[in-house]
């Protein structure tokens, strides 16, 4: 999720671009750059790492211009580097891009055949050369032709040295907003970048192209037909704006999960063929592996526990799941027949890195699932399945977790189909259900107010139990961790079947028990566990599948979720436990995004 800013007017574009990028830094910051037109030439300034590095370059060079584009990058294709930093250019045309282009390799091959040379690994540079290849002295026309040739998500801001009086914008599946003022106009991925300059905005809609001059904004559709877009007045404070109106980043990131899942699976499957397509894994020779070792920490370890269910069910390969800090000090049996899978949002967790290095030294192949391109874990892996959750600012992991689980589901299908255990028909069926997931999650997010009300009733308890079975047992663990880490209330996740082996002694009216009771092959066993808790004056909050009217007889609160397979019910149950933890912590007035004692990435032992 990168940040784009664009300006045309009478002020110095450089100042406005840098200020705007600063306001968007939360969207990603592994590299940044601006392009401005000075004396009929496009000057590009780029840097790797924090935005401060770009600011230092700018304060030295002091470029002055009335038109420019800027970008702060969260890498999706190509590691963070100077070459991969935006803006990207092609013979007098420069652009910045937020999104993921699915068919960029095909386009790149065609352009290379035409003689184009590429400096970067990015999909964005491909768009720049594509626009140049379509350019016939009209940058608007060139962009209009090009956007119909690219598949995937994009928000673009494009300038041409031959037409220094305009900026072309285009959006498809990636946000872009125009800021309007007198004698100047702006564009950005998000309004925080612009609210210092105006409160008048046009929110571009799907498949809009816009032409910005300093005195006008004209919108078109991709066919070139003019469209009317309403100018909206938005008065919002900058901090609230960064969170897009949410109270906390964690809340925003919970709500971003439908989009994050769509971005993570984008381009990785063919529904008509019934295939998961992971070319980045083709050099992993699955045939050698007798077992998988999934190793991670915290929430990522919970994702790994779910992955075990998926891989053993669909790929019929034995999977062990370990906590990295334990794995690294054990005398593990690892050899070349082991596939070691490291799961890490940050790619910088010290224990997981150490475990990976041990496995590698003993001959294992290394696959990682990670949300940060170019991070240590990805650099030391033989292959990486990147999640595209975008930057996760809240310390409590939410969208990273669900996109890790999506990655594991896709990997299980991929390995199963490579082993011949999954027919195309079966894969089609599984993919069809997976593609419904974002919409079902949106449905669960509509229960937010109900969950907020439950949180108000339970915020003062001092200890919780979370119970789940089978593939939802790790969600019970995740729910307990979410509550612990942001509300400081003790909570324990447990396999529901284990109640009789000790924890049931804890049950009384002071111990709320959250039970995951959505439809599953073990539903009857879970129902019995709920009745055991109720029989001991326990307080039960449960999730069930819509249409289930028997559980609510035994619960204080019963949350009804849309019908879905047991395997994918983990996503819907995860949204509920995330929202419950979030609202309890918010009700307690705690620092939800930066809880005490915690860091977003544990880079030390």
The catalytic residues are: 2, 600
DSSP one-letter code for 225: -
For ligand AGP, give the closer residue by CB, 268 or 399. Answer: 399
The C-alpha atoms of residue 52 and residue 55 are separated, in whole angstroms, by: 5
Residue 487 lies near ligand AGP (rule: CB under 6 A): no
The C-alpha atoms of residue 410 and residue 306 are separated, in whole angstroms, by: 12
For ligand AGP, give the closer residue by CB, 199 or 601. Answer: 601
Q: Are 330 and 304 in contact (CB under 8 A)?
A: no
Q: Which stretch binds ligand AGP (CB under 6 A): 342-350, 464-472, 510-518, 525-533?
A: 342-350
Question: Shortest approach of ligand AGP to residue 303 CB, angstroms?
Answer: 8
For residue 373, give the nearest of 25, 5, 73, 52 by alpha carbon: 73
For ligand AGP, give the closer residue by CB, 70 or 595. Answer: 595
| 59 contacts: CB under 8 Å, gap ≥ 6 | none
Question: Shortest approach of ligand AGP to residue 522 CB, angstroms?
Answer: 26
The C-alpha atoms of residue 528 and residue 273 are separated, in whole angstroms, by: 43
Supply 573's token pair: 């149950």
CA angle, 128 then 134 then 138, to 5°: 95
User: Residue number with the shortest CB distance to ligand AGP?
Assistant: 298
The C-alpha atoms of residue 594 and residue 590 are separated, in whole angstroms, by: 9
Supply 235's token pair: 């008065």
The residue within the footprint of ligand AGP, chosen from 81, 103, 270, 601 (CB under 6 A), is 601
- Number of residues in contact with ligand AGP under rule CB under 6 A: 15
Dihedral of alpha carbons 517, 522, 523, 529, sign: negative
For ligand AGP, give the closer residue by CB, 169 or 355. Answer: 355
For ligand AGP, give the closer residue by CB, 22 or 368. Answer: 368
Q: Which stretch binds ligand AGP (CB under 6 A): 177-185, 292-300, 354-362, 464-472?
A: 292-300
Question: Shortest approach of ligand AGP to residue 292 CB, angstroms?
Answer: 18
For ligand AGP, give the closer residue by CB, 65 or 257. Answer: 257
Q: Are 18 and 34 in contact (CB under 8 A)?
A: yes
Residue 545 lies near ligand AGP (rule: CB under 6 A): no
| 272 contacts: CB under 8 Å, gap ≥ 6 | none
For ligand AGP, give the closer residue by CB, 198 or 344. Answer: 344
Question: Shortest approach of ligand AGP to residue 599 CB, angstroms?
Answer: 8
Q: Which stretch binds ligand AGP (CB under 6 A): 157-165, 267-275, 343-351, 581-589?
A: 343-351
Question: Shortest approach of ligand AGP to residue 418 CB, angstroms?
Answer: 26
For residue 392, give the nearest of 256, 188, 595, 240 by alpha carbon: 256
Region of residue 153 (phi > 0: left; psi between -120 and 50: alpha; otherwise: beta): beta
For ligand AGP, give the closer residue by CB, 120 or 387. Answer: 387
The residue within the footprint of ligand AGP, chosen from 297, 334, 559, 575 (CB under 6 A), is 297
Residue 345 lies near ligand AGP (rule: CB under 6 A): yes
The C-alpha atoms of residue 249 and residue 426 are separated, in whole angstroms, by: 38
The C-alpha atoms of residue 240 and residue 224 are separated, in whole angstroms, by: 36
Question: Shortest approach of ligand AGP to residue 325 CB, angstroms?
Answer: 10
The residue within the footprint of ligand AGP, chosen from 89, 346, 376, 378 (CB under 6 A), is 346
Question: Shortest approach of ligand AGP to residue 255 CB, angstroms?
Answer: 17
Ordered strands of the 365-370 beta sheet: 319-323, 291-296, 338-344, 365-370, 383-386
Question: Shortest approach of ligand AGP to residue 290 CB, angstroms?
Answer: 26
The C-alpha atoms of residue 24 and residue 581 are separated, in whole angstroms, by: 27
Q: Which stretch binds ligand AGP (CB under 6 A): 93-101, 107-115, 340-348, 358-366?
A: 340-348
Question: Shortest approach of ligand AGP to residue 479 CB, angstroms?
Answer: 11
Q: Which stretch binds ligand AGP (CB under 6 A): 167-175, 189-197, 293-301, 308-316?
A: 293-301
For residue 155, give the nearest of 137, 182, 178, 179 by alpha carbon: 178
The residue within the footprint of ligand AGP, chosen from 349, 368, 384, 470 (CB under 6 A), is 349
Residue 299 lies near ligand AGP (rule: CB under 6 A): yes
Question: Shortest approach of ligand AGP to residue 174 CB, angstroms?
Answer: 25
Q: Are 599 and 395 in contact (CB under 8 A)?
A: yes
> Which helix (DSSP H) or strand (DSSP E) does residue 173 occupy?
none
Residue 470 lies near ligand AGP (rule: CB under 6 A): no
Supply 292's token pair: 């998988």
Residues 300-319 that bind ligand AGP (CB under 6 A): 300
- The burial class, CB within 10 Å (0-12 / 13-18 / 19+), for 573 is buried
In this structure, the number of other CB atoms found within 10 A of the CB of residue 542 comes to: 25
The C-alpha atoms of residue 385 and residue 404 are separated, in whole angstroms, by: 9
For residue 97, give the nearest of 55, 68, 127 by alpha carbon: 127
Q: Which stretch binds ligand AGP (CB under 6 A): 138-146, 159-167, 291-299, 436-444?
A: 291-299
Residue 352 lies near ligand AGP (rule: CB under 6 A): yes
Question: Shortest approach of ligand AGP to residue 5 CB, angstroms?
Answer: 29
For ligand AGP, give the closer residue by CB, 112 or 598. Answer: 598
For ligand AGP, give the closer residue by CB, 89 or 344. Answer: 344
For ligand AGP, give the closer residue by CB, 185 or 345. Answer: 345
Residue 602 lies near ligand AGP (rule: CB under 6 A): yes
Question: Measured in Å, how far apart are the chain's first and last C-alpha atoms?
Answer: 30
The C-alpha atoms of residue 348 and residue 353 are separated, in whole angstroms, by: 7
In this structure, the number of other CB atoms found within 10 A of the CB of residue 205 comes to: 12
Residues 360-419 that bind ligand AGP (CB under 6 A): 395-397
Query: What does the binding site for ligand AGP look like in residue numbers (CB under 6 A)?
Result: 297-300, 344-346, 349, 352, 395-397, 485, 601-602
């Amino acid at each position: 999720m990168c940040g784009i800013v664009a300006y045309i007017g009478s002020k110095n574009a450089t100042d406005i671009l840098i200020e705007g990028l600063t306001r968007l830094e939360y969207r990603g910051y592994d590299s940044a750059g601006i392009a401005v037109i000075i004396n009929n030439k496009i000057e590009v300034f780029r840097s790797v790492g924090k935005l401060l590095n770009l600011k230092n370059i700018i304060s030295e060079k002091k470029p002055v211009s009335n038109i420019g584009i800027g970008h702060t990058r969260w890498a999706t294709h190509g590691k963070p580097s100077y070459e991969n930093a935006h803006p990207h250019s092609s013979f007098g045309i420069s652009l910045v891009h937020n999104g993921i282009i699915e068919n960029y390799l095909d386009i790149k091959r065609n352009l290379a055949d035409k003689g184009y040379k590429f400096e970067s690994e990015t999909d964005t540079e491909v768009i720049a050369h594509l626009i140049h290849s379509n350019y016939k002295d009209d940058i608007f026309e060139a962009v209009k032709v090009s956007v119909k040739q690219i598949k995937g998500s994009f928000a673009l801001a494009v300038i041409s040295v031959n037409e220094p009086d305009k900026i072309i914008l285009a959006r498809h599946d990636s946000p872009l907003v125009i800021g309007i003022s007198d004698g100047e106009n702006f564009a950005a991925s998000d309004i925080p970048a612009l609210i210092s300059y105006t409160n008048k905005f046009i929110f571009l809609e799907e498949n809009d192209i816009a032409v910005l001059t300093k005195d006008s904004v004209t919108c078109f559709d991709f066919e070139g037909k003019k469209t009317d877009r309403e100018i909206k007045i938005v008065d919002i404070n900058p901090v609230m704006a960064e969170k897009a109106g949410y109270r906390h980043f964690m809340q925003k990131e919970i709500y971003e999960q439908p989009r994050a899942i769509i971005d993570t699976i984008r381009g990785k499957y063919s529904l008509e063929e019934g295939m998961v397509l992971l070319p980045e894994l083709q050099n992993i020779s699955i045939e050698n592996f007798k077992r998988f070792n999934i190793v991670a920490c915290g929430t990522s370890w919970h994702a790994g526990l779910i992955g075990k269910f998926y891989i053993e069910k669909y790929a019929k390969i034995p999977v062990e799941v370990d906590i990295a800090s334990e794995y690294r000090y054990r005398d593990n049996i690892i050899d070349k027949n082991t596939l070691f899978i490291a799961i890490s949002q940050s790619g910088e967790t010290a224990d997981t890195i150490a475990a990976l290095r041990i496995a590698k030294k003993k001959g294992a192949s290394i696959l990682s699932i990670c949300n940060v391109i170019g991070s240590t874990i990805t650099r030391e892996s033989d292959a990486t399945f990147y999640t595209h959750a975008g930057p996760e600012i809240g310390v409590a992991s939410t969208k990273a977790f669900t996109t890790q689980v999506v990655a594991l589901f896709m990997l299980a299908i991929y390995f199963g189909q490579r082993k011949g255990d999954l027919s195309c028909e079966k894969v089609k069926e599984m993919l069809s259900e997976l593609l419904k997931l974002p919409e079902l999650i949106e449905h669960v997010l509509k229960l937010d107010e109900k969950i907020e009300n439950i949180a108000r009733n339970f915020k003062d308890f001092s200890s919780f139990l979370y119970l789940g079975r089978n593939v939802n047992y790790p969600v019970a663990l995740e729910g307990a961790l979410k509550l612990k880490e942001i509300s400081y209330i003790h909570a324990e996740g447990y396999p529901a079947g284990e109640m009789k082996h000790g924890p049931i002694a804890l049950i009384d009216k002071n111990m709320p028990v959250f039970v995951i009771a959505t439809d599953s092959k073990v539903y009857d066993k879970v129902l019995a566990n709920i009745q055991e808790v109720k029989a001991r004056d326990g307080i039960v909050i449960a999730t069930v599948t819509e249409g289930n009217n028997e559980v609510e007889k035994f619960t204080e609160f019963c949350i009804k979720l849309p019908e879905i397979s047991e395997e994918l019910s983990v996503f819907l149950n995860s949204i509920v436990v995330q929202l419950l933890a979030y609202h309890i912590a918010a009700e307690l007035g705690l620092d939800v995004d930066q809880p005490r004692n915690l860091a977003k990435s544990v880079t030390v032992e």
